[in-house]
Amino acid sequence: MGDSRQGAPHGFTVLEAVFASAILAIGLSGVFQLSAASMAANQSQRNLVFASGLAQDLAECWQVNTANCLSQFQSSQQANSLSNEAGVQFERSWLITSISTPSKDPQLLQNLQISVKWPHQDNTGSTVELHWHIRRASTPTWVGL
């Protein structure tokens, strides 16, 4: 008795294997690009969180009148460069302005503007900047506190 499948092809042809490999390569390239974009977005978010922490730390220091914090604000309007675990350099600067009030003491109501800058990870030569604003009201001396 003869085998009825004598002329039937067995396995993949070279052309089928090439098409399957091409489809697999396209799929893997898409996964790789998505992973790279996800990692870049994650690093960008980490930088933003770190910059926010630097600004918040400075704002909280400005709110409490300890000797260490007061000396920091009297020395200059820019701190040394700070870096995170990835080695990104952050520059923090600030400006304190008095808000005019009918009283004679210009220190009663003040505004603190904090700026944190760091290099943009995708565009070499450009920077990203975070602005933080906070106000502080002091107790007038006539209250007696």
Give 12 or 62, the one with higher predicted confidence.
Answer: 62
Q: How far apart are CA 21 and CA 6, in angstroms?
A: 29
State the pLDDT at residue 35: 94
CA dist., res. 73 & res. 134, Å (int): 15
In this predicted structure, what is the pLDDT of residue 2?
52
The predicted pLDDT at position 125 comes to 83
Q: What residue spans of 1-86 are helical by DSSP H? A: 14-63, 67-75
CA 117 – CA 90 distance, rounded (Å): 6
Of the given ranges (38-47, 60-69, 82-91, 102-111), which has the lowest mean pLDDT? 102-111
How confident is residue 10, by pLDDT bands cut at 50, 70 and 90?
low
Calculate the average pLDDT of the chain. 82
Q: What would the mean pLDDT of 24-30 be, rounded to a whole number?
A: 95
Q: Per-residue pLDDT for 123 more than 60?
A: yes
- 8 Å CB contact between 90 and 116: yes
Q: From CA 54, how far away is CA 65, in angstroms rounded?
A: 18
